[in-house]
Amino acid sequence: MKCPKCQTDIHREGAKFCPYCGASLSYETGLPKEKAEVKFCPKCKAAISKQYQKYCSLCGADLSLPAELPQEQYTPAAIEKAPAQKSEVEKSTLLHKKHWHSRMALIVTLLIILILCGGGVAYGYLQGYIFDYKPPQVAILSPQDNETISISHEKQVEKTVKVSVHDNRKVKRIALFLDGSLVKEVEGEEVLIYRWLVDKEGEHIFRAYAYDRKNNEALAETVVKVKLDVPPVNVVAQNADQETPLYQQQVTPPVNVVAKNIKNETEFIDINLRIPVINGLQDERLESAINNAIEKSVNDQVACVKELLTDDMKKMIYQGFSPEFMLESDYKVHYNQNGLLSIVISYQRYTGGAHGSSELQAVNVDLKTGRELMIKDFYQDGEDWEGIVKRAIYNQMLSDPEKYFPETIKWWRSKPLKPNQRFYIDGDNYIVVYFDEYEIGPYAIGMPEFKVPISKKPNEVKASGRSY
């Protein structure tokens, strides 16, 4: 046997490789070299060393398939080419694996970058750094807009200024200015408290600026009037034996308000009323008119409850499917001085359903003229009384906006007050504006009340409403 590569005689029987050049002896056949043929893999083009192989040992391709390239004649060059083809296939496979690992590393890197970017965007959104186009809501809760503060030379007055801010994300900063000068600033807080030493009379303007983390800005403004109280001076009249007061306030004594109890319990309705009755008024006609108006209001409440008591409701009450109907009332005298009377009658009723209902009816009368008091009567002529009242209410709403209907907060400033907006007098410097159930918020908040400062003194008020 001769080596097909170096043509050296091989004397060892069964040898598979040439001991001189290392060439494979498995290609040696009994046929002449010119006629021997070498098979090639149709897929990887590697030379097949054994004629009986059915599958390629390098790529596993089926050798029974037709070759893509024609088989070459058996020559020493073809024999030398077989190991080189095998090496190229191995290199190609290794390169393919390297490319696969590179692609996977790139995909994993991109996924990590996407996750980090997404987390950063989510954090920035939740913290209010991005995609926040809604400014915060700011309100000056104290002092009230258009409030009057009295000071004197003998006593210093300290007033607490409270600013509340609400934002849909995060509040960044609150800055409070008094007459254009910065007096206090807080970072990352929703409430600002400032102790104001009131020592200068005149009109002062507080402005509160609120910023969120996107630097959206909101402004609230409150005007405060500081008045210097001067004690009355007695001047001696010329050629008179007694002193005549230069200033004297006329004070109208309070009227008597007594309670009247009305009870009426039937099989289906329980009525228990406590209503106010006025007596001792010099004007007996006015006294009777006020008492008749109160009595008519009570009778209307009773009639309303009885009207809802249908035959079907009676049957349900009789069979125990519903509690009996109920109507109760009580009253409170909030102001009874300087010729002004303010009484609030509260009604509680149950006419079936999950819960009862409540209602407040105020009686505000100028006893000097016999006319009904209106909100505008407590403010100076030409003063924007409606704007003052609405701003005071709006600022108090913003201290807890979730309590009210969203549309109430949204449209409050553009919506006018009702002509017969309900209120009662609370001392010499305030009125309280209140609303019915479900009027500006859900049932859970009841009948919300808002304390509003007034600009007139009680003895300066002149009623402009209807006559009793």
411 and 279 in a single domain? The answer is yes
How high is the pLDDT of residue 195?
86
From 190, 78, 206, select the one nearest 142 (Cα to Cα): 206
Distance of alpha carbon 165 from alpha carbon 213, whole angstroms: 13
198 and 295 in a single domain? The answer is no
Q: Please report whether residue 442 resides in a domain.
A: yes
* 291 phi and psi angles, rounded to 5 deg: -65, -40
pLDDT at 454 over 60: yes
Distance of alpha carbon 313 from alpha carbon 322, whole angstroms: 8
> Burial level of 214, CB count in 10 A (0-12/13-18/19+)?
buried
221 and 275 in a single domain? The answer is no
Q: Is the peptide bond before 143 cis (omega within 30 degrees of 0)?
A: yes
How high is the pLDDT of residue 371?
93
184 and 291 in a single domain? The answer is no
Q: Please report whether residue 62 resides in a domain.
A: no
Q: Please report whether residue 10 resides in a domain.
A: no
Find the range with the poorest average confidence among 21-35, 145-159, 164-178, 192-206: 21-35
Distance of alpha carbon 38 from alpha carbon 56, whole angstroms: 13
* 375 phi and psi angles, rounded to 5 deg: -60, -40
396 and 334 in a single domain? The answer is yes
Please give the torsion angle defined by the CA atoms of residues 405, 409, 413 and 419, in that order, rounded to the nearest 10 degrees.
20
224 and 269 in a single domain? The answer is no
Distance of alpha carbon 344 from alpha carbon 261, whole angstroms: 16
Distance of alpha carbon 380 from alpha carbon 374, whole angstroms: 13
Find the range with the poorest average confidence among 41-45, 68-72, 261-265: 68-72
Give the end of a domain, one of 228, 248, 279: 228
Find the range with the poorest average confidence among 25-34, 280-289, 455-464: 25-34
331 and 417 in a single domain? The answer is yes
Q: Please report whether residue 159 resides in a domain.
A: yes
Find the range with the poorest average confidence among 331-335, 416-420, 464-468: 416-420
Residues 170 and 213: beta-carbon distance below 8 Å: yes
How high is the pLDDT of residue 239?
45
Can you give the length of the chain in residues? 468
Find the range with the poorest average confidence among 135-144, 242-251, 372-381: 242-251
Q: Quick one: what percent of the chain has pLDDT higher than 90?
A: 32
11, 75, 269 from 3: Cα distances, Å = 10, 12, 126
* Structural domain range at position 159: 137-228
303 and 385 in a single domain? The answer is yes
CATH number of the domain within which 354 lies: 3.30.565.40
CATH number of the domain within which 145 lies: 2.60.40.10
3-state SS track over the chain: CECCCCCCECCCCCCCECCCCCCECCCCCCCCCCCCECEECCCCCCEECCCCCCECCCCCCECCCCCCCCCCECCHHHHHHHHHHHHHHHHHHHHHHHHHHHHHHHHHHHHHHHHHHHHHHHHHHHCCCCCCCCCCEEEEEECCCCEEEEECCCCCEEEEEEEEEECCCCEEEEEEEECCEEEEEEECCCEEEEEEEECCCEEEEEEEEEEECCCCEEEEEEEEEEEECCCCCEEECCCCCCEEECCCCCCCCCCEEEEEEEEEECCCEEEEEEEEEEECCCCHHHHHHHHHHHHHHHHHHHHHHHHHCCHHHHHHHHCCCCCCEEEEEEEEEEEEECCEEEEEEEEEEECCCCCCEEEEEEEEEECCCCEECCHHHHCCCCCCHHHHHHHHHHHHHHCCHHHCCHHHHHHCCCCCCCCCCCEEEECCCEEEEECCCCCCCCHHHCCCEEEEECCCCHHHCCCCCCEC
Distance of alpha carbon 154 from alpha carbon 240, whole angstroms: 33
Question: pLDDT-based confidence at 364, cuts 50/70/90?
Answer: very high
Distance of alpha carbon 8 from alpha carbon 19, whole angstroms: 9
* 19 phi and psi angles, rounded to 5 deg: -75, -10
Question: pLDDT-based confidence at 66, cuts 50/70/90?
Answer: low
264 and 383 in a single domain? The answer is yes
Number of domains in the chain: 2
Q: Return mean pLDDT, the chain.
A: 81
Say what the pTM is.
0.53
Q: How many CB atoms lie within 10 A of CB 339?
A: 20
Distance of alpha carbon 312 from alpha carbon 322, whole angstroms: 11
224 and 272 in a single domain? The answer is no
Q: Please report whether residue 63 resides in a domain.
A: no
Q: Please report whether residue 272 resides in a domain.
A: yes
Distance of alpha carbon 378 from alpha carbon 390, whole angstroms: 15
How high is the pLDDT of residue 379?
94
Q: Please report whether residue 79 resides in a domain.
A: no
* 378 phi and psi angles, rounded to 5 deg: -95, 10
Contacts of residue 64, defined as CB under 8 A and 6 or more positions apart, other chains included, come to 54
Q: Please report whether residue 290 resides in a domain.
A: yes
Please give the torsion angle defined by the CA atoms of residues 25, 30, 36 and 41, in that order, rounded to the nearest 10 degrees.
-50
224 and 261 in a single domain? The answer is no
416 and 306 in a single domain? The answer is yes
